[in-house]
């Protein structure tokens, strides 16, 4: 007996959702625990180096499991023709139309919904919490005011490619506030609550750095301006060392980011960030004093 596990995450024109992938992994684990050999087919878009449906020899398998998602559409129907000699079973799927050939092509269907009752999805239980760091990512706009010193077009692709390689949960931190876009916060306080819930902030924005440190979160700041701009200046004001210049990314992008990432994940970095939590800026006090300087007003 040998089982090929498939799902929407197996199709070239499908998609890999967290629920689909975890469901497929749970099926693979359950089969392995019973001593049953199994392989999982993944989309080349999701897992370039893994086993793909196009590479599978159907005669190598006795069973095919289609896991999670809707049992519907031409890609599901094609599985029946591609694996005619396998026992084909759909596990934890949604059945929209029991008469659909995508459904009737299975020898057995174990639905999560669409039958006479509903069942808990195969993705449960989800992965244990606490193991994967959450990284808030705040990117600067083009900032044309820096003229030819701008290196955003070189820095951001390098930074994002590096982030994609990290084993972390990435959360976009958009500092733009809006009342008509649910993806944006309405208030600065709401944005601060987002920052409170991440482990590390990776940012090319000045205010990404400011929000992180003022709320006790380590920040890996990358200055997208050659020669140093306001991000480097702000890091200096905070006496925060985890700042990478655009020129450093030219020389050793992965190495310098990896080193600071390791530090930002350390207890020393968390302690350093907590030490930098502030309730007000000295610049605010100075600015207000200057604003209310009546003697200066009289001199004018």
Domains, the chain: 2-113 (3.40.50.10490), 134-285 (3.40.50.2000)
pLDDT in tens, 115-137: 778 999 999 987 666 689 999 99
Chain segment 159-209, per-residue pLDDT in tens: 999 999 999 999 999 999 999 999 999 999 999 999 999 999 999 999 999
Say what the pLDDT of residue 193 is.
97
Which residues have CB under 8 Å from 97's CB, separation 6+? 72, 103
| Cβ pair 8, 14 in contact under 8 A | yes
**pLDDT mean across residues, the chain:** 93
Decide if pLDDT at 3 tops 80.
yes
Distance from C-alpha of 53 to C-alpha of 71, rounded to nearest angstrom: 18
pLDDT in tens, 53-82: 999 999 999 999 999 999 999 999 999 999
**CA dist list (Å): 26 to 5, 32, 92, 143:** 11, 10, 11, 47
pLDDT at 251: 82
Whether residue 300 has pLDDT greater than 80? no
Binned at pLDDT 50, 70 and 90, residue 296 comes out as low
């Amino acid at each position: 007996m040998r089982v090929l596990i498939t799902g929407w995450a197996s199709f070239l024109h499908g998609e890999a959702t967290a629920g689909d992938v975890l469901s497929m992994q749970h099926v693979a684990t359950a089969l392995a625990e019973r001593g049953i050999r199994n392989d999982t087919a993944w989309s080349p878009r999701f897992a370039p180096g893994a086993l793909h449906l196009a590479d599978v020899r159907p005669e190598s398998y006795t069973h095919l499991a289609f896991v999670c998602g809707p049992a519907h559409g031409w890609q599901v129907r094609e599985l029946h023709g591609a694996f005619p000699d396998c026992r084909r079973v759909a596990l934890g799927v949604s059945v929209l139309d029991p008469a659909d050939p995508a459904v009737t092509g299975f020898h057995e269907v174990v639905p999560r919904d669409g039958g006479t009752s509903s069942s808990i999805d195969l993705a449960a239980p989800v992965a244990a919490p606490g193991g994967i760091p959450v990284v808030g990512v705040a990117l600067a706009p083009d900032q044309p005011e820096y003229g030819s010193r701008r290196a955003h077009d070189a820095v951001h692709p390098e930074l994002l490619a590096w982030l994609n390689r990290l084993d972390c949960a990435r959360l976009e931190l958009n500092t733009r506030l809006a009342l008509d876009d649910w993806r944006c916060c309405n208030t600065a306080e709401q944005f601060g609550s987002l920052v409170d819930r991440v482990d590390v902030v990776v940012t090319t924005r000045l205010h990404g750095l400011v929000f992180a440190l003022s709320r006790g979160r380590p920040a890996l700041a990358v200055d997208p301006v050659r020669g140093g701009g306001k991000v480097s200046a702000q890091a200096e004001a905070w006496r925060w060392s985890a700042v990478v210049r655009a020129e450093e990314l030219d020389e050793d992008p992965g190495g310098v980011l990896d080193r600071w990432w390791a530090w930002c994940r350390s207890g020393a970095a968390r302690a350093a960030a907590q030490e930098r939590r502030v309730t007000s800026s000295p610049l605010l006090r100075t600015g207000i004093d200057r604003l209310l300087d009546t003697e200066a007003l009289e001199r004018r």
